[in-house]
């Protein structure tokens, strides 16, 4: 399908706006909207900023006012057609008198879908599939959650250039720089849950909290960076209230009005979130005094359903799978708790199991310009017996982070995620 240049340009802008909702909308999707008046001029813009807050269409229509009548709305996800914490966006578009609606991705959530059918039934011209791949990418966490019924998984690791995550004596602090570690904290803050295995807990006693203000690091930019969101917020970067209020003209495009301030009441940027901490601990061996069990953030310890443990913690009992736990069941249980995105930091063994079972949706690697030659590998056994069974990836981004490099990649094939 050949896309008119105007449709592509305005949808690209909507995709960029959607990216500003990363880390604050869960369990809702990120959505962006651009409204043109009848003469084809931009009249309003908006994005969904937080669950329970106004949807992108409502924000953009409010900014457009009467200029929306007879105009066109560009929306990255099909307008909802149900009443939840807010009313149906399909009805809002009809009430505003919009004559045409252009969307990128149909809504896979059957409870909310139907907006396009309602709009067509009332004489609104509808175009679907414009920049669908770009809109899929900016909203991939939620689309995985909605389509597959499980949490989306990003596996993060830090290593030397020869792939070592710890020295021969087990020491690993610090392979990467303070700038890279600060970037990790920003990514943690944008996730709903941080997952680690019992091996990591016993070896390192990690805190597994998100502390995005603990150090400063530049957001990747420049010719070496390949952004995963078209013109949007780079993955892991979180739009601050200042970015979405009046001072954002430079970031949102010269000569373009910034969207109406949409910060969550009380501050609402991802830096104030406390992602759920999850320990995958088949036999329930987490020490009672482990830092991951303090009150800095909620914690869930996943154990085998038949594990005998006296651990005093919030336990999630799961079926066994081989020598470990059923990780598919773990992700389904987390999704049932409205955990849309998981940030996996769980050591080589757990990462290998996630990869073996096809449960890694994205890989974020921080590589330091250093060599160890021996020591712990970043990835354990992952079900590969011969070269033809390699888990092949495609790169989304290559970015300098201080003296290190951040690589973002995803499996070359991801059945069920893009439909």
Strands 125-127 and 164-166, how do they pair?
A: unpaired
Query: Quick check: 404 and 177 in contact, CB under 8 A?
Result: yes
Integer Rg of the chain from CA: 22
Residues paired with 126 in a beta bridge: 101
Residues paired with 300 in a beta bridge: 278
Helix ranges (H only) for 174-263 are 178-190, 198-204, 241-244, 249-252
Q: 324 by DSSP, 3-state: which? A: strand
The C-alpha atoms of residue 418 and residue 39 are separated, in whole angstroms, by 34
The C-alpha atoms of residue 60 and residue 260 are separated, in whole angstroms, by 8
- CB count in 10 Å sphere of residue 383: 12
Q: Could you tell me the two tokens for 230?
A: 């078209």
Rama region for 185: left / alpha / beta (φ>0; ψ in -120 to 50; rest): alpha
Which one is catalytic: 57, 134, 136, 397? Answer: 57
Strands 276-280 and 299-304, how do they pair?
A: parallel
- The sign of the CA dihedral 62, 64, 65, 66 is negative
Q: Among this protein's residues, is 57 annotated catalytic?
A: yes
Q: Is 336 exposed, middle or buried (0-12, 13-18, 19+ CB in 10 A)?
A: exposed
Q: Could you tell me the two tokens for 212?
A: 């995005």
Query: Quick check: 31 and 76 in contact, CB under 8 A?
Result: yes
Q: CA of 408: how far to CAs of 157, 228, 235, in Å?
A: 11, 8, 9
Query: Quick check: 44 and 51 in contact, CB under 8 A?
Result: no
Helices (H) and strands (E) in the chain, counts: 12, 18
Helix ranges (H only) for 191-256 are 198-204, 241-244, 249-252
Pseudo-torsion of CA 153, 190, 212, 261, nearest 10°? 170
Q: Could you tell me the two tokens for 194?
A: 């941080």
H or E stretch including 46?
strand 42-47
Residues known to be catalytic: 57
């Amino acid at each position: 399908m050949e896309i008119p240049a105007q449709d592509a340009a305005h949808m690209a802008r909507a995709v960029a706006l959607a990216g500003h909702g990363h880390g604050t909308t869960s369990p809702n999707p990120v959505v962006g909207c651009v409204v043109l008046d009848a003469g084809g001029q931009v009249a309003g813009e908006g994005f969904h900023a937080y669950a329970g807050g106004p949807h992108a269409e409502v924000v953009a229509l409010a900014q457009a006012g009467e200029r929306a009548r007879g105009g066109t709305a560009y929306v990255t996800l099909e307008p909802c057609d149900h009443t939840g914490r807010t009313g149906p966006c399909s009805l809002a578009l009809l009430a505003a008198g919009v004559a045409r609606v252009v969307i990128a991705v149909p809504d896979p959530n059957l409870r909310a879908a139907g907006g396009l059918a309602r709009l067509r039934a009332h004489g609104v011209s509808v175009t679907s599939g414009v920049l669908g791949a770009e809109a899929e990418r900016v909203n991939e966490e939620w689309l995985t959650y909605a389509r597959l019924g499980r949490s989306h998984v990003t596996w993060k690791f830090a290593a030397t250039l020869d792939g070592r995550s710890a020295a021969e004596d087990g020491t690993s602090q610090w392979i990467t720089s303070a700038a890279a570690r600060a970037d990790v904290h920003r990514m943690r803050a944008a996730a709903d849950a941080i997952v680690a295995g019992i091996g990591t807990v016993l070896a390192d006693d990690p805190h597994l909290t998100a502390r995005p203000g603990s150090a400063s690091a530049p957001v990747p930019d420049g010719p070496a960076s390949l952004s995963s969101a078209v013109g949007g917020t780079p993955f892991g970067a979180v739009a601050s209230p200042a970015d979405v209020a009046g001072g954002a003209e430079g970031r949102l495009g010269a000569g373009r009005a910034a969207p109406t301030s949409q910060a969550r009441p009380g501050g609402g940027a991802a830096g104030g979130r406390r992602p759920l901490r999850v320990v995958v601990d088949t036999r329930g061996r987490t020490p009672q005094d482990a830092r991951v069990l303090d009150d800095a953030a909620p914690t869930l310890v996943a154990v085998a359903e038949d594990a005998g443990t006296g651990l005093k913690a919030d336990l999630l009992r799961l079926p066994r799978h081989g020598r470990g736990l059923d990780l598919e069941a773990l992700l389904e249980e987390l999704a049932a708790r409205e955990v849309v995105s998981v940030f996996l930091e769980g050591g080589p063994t757990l990462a290998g199991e996630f990869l073996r079972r096809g449960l890694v949706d994205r890989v974020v690697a921080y590589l330091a310009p250093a060599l160890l030659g021996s020591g712990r590998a970043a990835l354990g056994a992952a079900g590969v017996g011969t070269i033809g069974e390699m888990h092949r990836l495609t790169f989304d981004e290559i970015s300098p982070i201080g003296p290190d490099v951040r690589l973002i990649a995803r499996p070359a094939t991801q059945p069920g995620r893009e439909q």
